[in-house]
Amino acid sequence: MTMAGNKRELEPGGLTAGKKIPRHVAIIMDGNGRWAKKRYLPRIAGHRAGMKTMRKIVEFANEIGVGILSLYAFSTENWKRPPREVDFLMRLPEEYLQRELPLLIEKNIVVSIMGEPAGLPARTQKAIDTALEKTRGNTGMILNFAFNYGGRTEIIHAVKTLCSEIVYGHLHVDEITEDMFGKYLYSGGMPDPDLLIRPSGELRISNFLLWQLAYTELWFTDVLWPDFEKEHFWEAVLEYQQRERRFGGVSKF
């Protein structure tokens, strides 16, 4: 389906056309560095442009009725990048929230975080804590940042917590179920993503939501994240609506 063909459906009101909007969308915001390189700009210019895209997509996801938007913003592996780039990325939550928090509050959005807060600079932690606190009472879309996040670290963290519950006699091994395990993850029992979007042409998961993506529909595009527009998001949603999700079962038709 062409984007031009979908134009009319992007108008508010015509959005859902009776079809399901994915409840939980996860995005790997990739391609900032390549976007900058193509323009002979430093990598951080790519991240700044990526943040602009993020603002647009948060607003659009909220507008069309997505329930949870999970954004991969900084992985546990990203510490390997040059210190200047890491410093810049660490400052982005503060910059973003300083500017956007009033709007997030007005839009009834709940800010949430997955990852290890320990190890983040104090200013970054403070900005995140303020956003969590100020939006805690909201009831709208959950804007869930994966920051200092790694899927394997998340699983190990859950296993360690479960083991200590067993050691202290609060839990018996036989009581462990998939549902219960999910509650020990950073995502704390949120519904799993229905749709994963990865821009920039890479066809991999990159240690993102390893447990939660078990039955998620995957959608890839060559578009680099700073060039990603709400039309691309909508294209992914439309394709998602055509997919038949069988969860290991058989077709209903």
Q: Could you give the residue numbers annotated as active site? A: 30, 78
In the 8-state DSSP scheme, what is residue 145? E
DSSP helix/strand/coil, 85: helix
CB closer to ligand FPP, 97 vs 162? 97
The identity of residue 128, as a single letter, is I
- Tell the smallest beta-carbon distance from residue 178 to ligand FPP (Å): 30
70 pairs with which residues across the strands? Answer: 26, 144
> Nearest-5° angle of CA 192, CA 233, CA 24?
15
Task: Tell me the closest approach of the beta carbon of residue 126 to ligand FPP, in angstroms.
Answer: 14
Least distance (Å) from ligand FPP to the CB of residue 105?
Answer: 16
Q: How far is the CB of 51 from ligand FPP (least distance, A)?
A: 4
Interatomic CA distance for residues 70 and 187, integer angstroms:
10
Considering the complex, state which of residue 94 and residue 184 has its C-beta at the smaller distance from ligand FPP. 94
* Sites of contact with ligand FPP (CB under 6 A): 29-34, 47, 50-51, 54, 73, 78, 89, 92-93, 96, 145, 147, 200
- The CA distance from 215 to 148, in Å, is 24
Closer residue to ligand FPP (CB): 175 or 222? 222
Q: What does 150-171 look like in DSSP terms, one character per residue?
A: -HHHHHHHHHHHHHHHHHTTS-
Q: Where are the alpha helices (DSSP H) in the chain?
A: 3-6, 32-38, 43-64, 83-106, 122-135, 151-167, 178-183, 230-242
The continuous run of DSSP H or E covering 198 comes out as strand 195-198
Helix (H) or strand (E) holding 71: strand 68-75
Q: Which is nearer to ligand FPP, 7 or 56 (CB)?
A: 56
* In the complex, least distance from residue 60 CB atom to ligand FPP, rounded to whole angstroms: 15
Q: Which residue number, 89 or 236, has a Cβ lying nearer to ligand FPP?
A: 89
